Amino acid sequence: MDGDATRRGLCLAMTLGALGTSGLARAADSLLVELKQDIEDGVDSLKGDVKARQARDLAIEAYIYAYPLVTMELTRRNLTNVAAPEAARAPMGQFLKLRGYPAVDNHAVTAPNADTLYTIVWLDVAKEPWVVSTPDMKGRFFLLPMLDGWTDVFEVPGKRTTGTGPQKFAITGPGWKGSLPAGVKQYKSPTGMVWMLGRIYCTGTPEDYAEVHALQDQMSAVPLSSYGKPYTPPAATVDPNVDSKTAVRDLVEAMDAASYFALFAQLLKTNPPAAADAPMVAKLAKIGIVPGQDFDASKLSAPVSKGLAEAPKPAQAKIMNWMKKGALAGDLKLKNGWTFTTKTGLYGTNYIQRALITAIGLGANRPQDAVYPTSTGPDILKKYDGSKKYVMHFPKGQLPPVNGFWSLTMYDTGYFFVPNPLNRYTVSQRNKLKPNADGSIDLYIQNESPGADKEENWLPAPKDGFILMMRLYWPKDKAPSLLDGSWFPPRAKEVA
């Protein structure tokens, strides 16, 4: 705009002598009109740029806020798009019962565990409640965390909270009003989507597998209208358009903004925002997203549409960057080479933490139920190397303080089990750990055997890089405790 105005001014000056008074006036008027239009066009362009930037910033916030709900939906589609229960999937309303620990060569799921057997069901409680029945667990550790559509764990029946006796409970959806049969406890879900991600402790022996399988087979889920009657699940429909091969996170990140927010708006109809989300809901309205209504990107102004289109990539980067910034904010803790968080399962309005946990640990428990310290090296500057030897030293009486159980799992750098001659992927309290003379315990983390007399304390490592993960189920809440910071995992120190 400035260059055009200058050139026109020079032209005006050069032609002054060639024009008469009336001609000069007409030329000046014409030039002023053009100059005015240039200014107005420039102001409009500037306003458009400002609106686009504002829309982009809002859309980044909205993307992060929506990320868990969108991810949960794509996960649900992936895990339920089958005609009948199979190895890793089951239709809506039917239990998926994993019968063993993942095989060492199974790379379908990262960071697999060799401590519990999963018993999982996806439920739609928007139309009516579902009644879940569980058998007498006979003192065995188990938990049945229920995730709503936003990944909040809204209830956790299990040994810690409800004991191990037989239970019957109904999961009801938003706004449900009605009566339940006698002896059936109500758990209120804030959303229509519910993922019950049950875990039952198992030692992995053939005998214990059989006992846990019997418990799994006694678990049931039926819609309230069929409770107390013979019930056969309806035939499931397989959607050929559902991509079950691509990782869910990749599917989410591949969505353009219009598709992403359109799906988000659709999900809001049965998975409403929490009351505490009111300020965010007000922001959503500014970019055309209103709970209960469809999202139509074609109705947006050009600047707003441009801003939304630019939001996904920076939003994704912001989510993953929280792994570093979260430590400064207190959402992640770093100690002795271990990284962990006690802010999982219930997030309130901490949307960035919720999105990060969704991205890297979907299905995380409340910290009272489980904490997962992870270590990639003995300190922040070093990585583990399988050509070296490491020892974790626990002074007498200072093994991980838990009411449930603890374990230390070995993974390669891709978070998969490491093949080894003992077929041992974890060391835990179920090992007959050999103490030192003073009662302390050393865990040997290395590629080669530390010797027959120390093998019970040996966690076999690969020859190259590896990652360690601890699992503390039902950590103690009084000192010594990981929850209050009075206990931390000891450093895995390199030794000669």
Please give the Cα distance from 6 to 217 (Å, whole number): 83
The amino acid present at 411, given as its one-letter code, is Y
The reported pLDDT for the residue numbered 126 is 97
The reported pLDDT for the residue numbered 27 is 62
Segment 369-409, tens digit of pLDDT: 999 999 999 998 899 999 999 999 999 999 999 999 999 99
CATH code, domain carrying 411:
2.60.120.600
Pairing of strands 167-172, 130-134: antiparallel
- The percentage of the chain sitting over the pLDDT mark of 70, rounded to a whole number, equals 90
Could you say which of 226, 257, 273 is where a domain stops? Answer: 226
Question: Is pLDDT above 90 for 459?
Answer: yes
Nearest to 192 by CA among 256, 148, 236, 255: 148
CA atoms lying within 13 Å on the CB side of residue 108: 11
Question: Is pLDDT above 70 for 14?
Answer: no
Does residue 257 form part of some domain?
no
Does residue 14 form part of some domain?
no
Does residue 60 form part of some domain?
no
Q: Which residue has 């055009």 as its token pair?
A: 4
Which token pair is 13?
């000056």
Please give the Cα distance from 462 to 447 (Å, whole number): 6
Which token pair is 332?
């992640």
Residue 178 sits in the same domain as residue 327: no
| CB distance 221 to 134 below 8 Å | no
Residue 217 sits in the same domain as residue 328: no
If residue 427 lies in a helix (H) or strand (E), which one and from where to where? Answer: strand 426-428
CATH code, domain carrying 105:
2.60.40.1610
Q: Can you give the three-state secondary structure of 145-213, one letter per residue?
A: CEEECCCCEEECCECCCCCCCCEEEEEECCCCCCCCCCCCEEEECCCCEEEEEEEEECCCCHHHHHHHH
pLDDT bracket for residue 324 (50, 70, 90): confident
Residue 488 sits in the same domain as residue 339: yes
Does residue 427 form part of some domain?
yes
Q: Please calculate the CA angle 245-246-249 and round it to the nearest 5 degrees.
A: 140
Could you say which of 192, 226, 260 is where a domain stops? Answer: 226
- Computed over every residue of the chain, the mean pLDDT equals 92
Question: Is pLDDT above 60 for 19?
Answer: no
The reported pLDDT for the residue numbered 39 is 63
The reported pLDDT for the residue numbered 109 is 72
pLDDT bracket for residue 12 (50, 70, 90): very low
The reported pLDDT for the residue numbered 38 is 63
If residue 460 lies in a helix (H) or strand (E), which one and from where to where? Answer: strand 458-460
Please give the Cα distance from 465 to 266 (Å, whole number): 44
Segment 207-240, tens digit of pLDDT: 999 999 999 999 999 999 999 999 999 999 999 9
Residue 329 sits in the same domain as residue 211: no
Beta bridge partners of 428: 407
Does residue 417 form part of some domain?
yes
Segment 40-88, tens digit of pLDDT: 555 455 465 789 999 999 999 999 999 999 999 999 999 999 999 998 8
**Which three-class secondary structure state does DSSP give residue 10?**
helix
Report the number of distinct structural domains present in the chain. 2
More confident residue, 51 or 37: 51
Q: Please calculate the CA angle 421-460-323 and round it to the nearest 5 degrees.
A: 135
Residue 350 sits in the same domain as residue 483: yes
Please give the Cα distance from 482 to 478 (Å, whole number): 9
Segment 355-364, tens digit of pLDDT: 999 998 899 9
Question: Is pLDDT above 80 for 493?
Answer: yes
Question: Is pLDDT above 90 for 2?
Answer: no
The amino acid present at 431, given as its one-letter code, is N
Beta bridge partners of 198: 119
Report CA 375 to chain centroid distance, whole Å.
19
More confident residue, 11 or 218: 218
Question: What pTM did the predictor assign?
Answer: 0.88
φ/ψ of residue 8, rounded to 5: -65, -35
Residue range(s) defining the domain that contains residue 143: 96-226
Could you say which of 196, 226, 256 is where a domain stops? Answer: 226
Of the candidate ranges 1-15, 228-242, 313-327, 439-453, the one whose mean pLDDT is the lowest: 1-15
Mean pLDDT of 452-458: 96
Residue 338 sits in the same domain as residue 453: yes
Question: Is pLDDT above 50 for 320?
Answer: yes
Question: Is pLDDT above 70 for 481?
Answer: yes
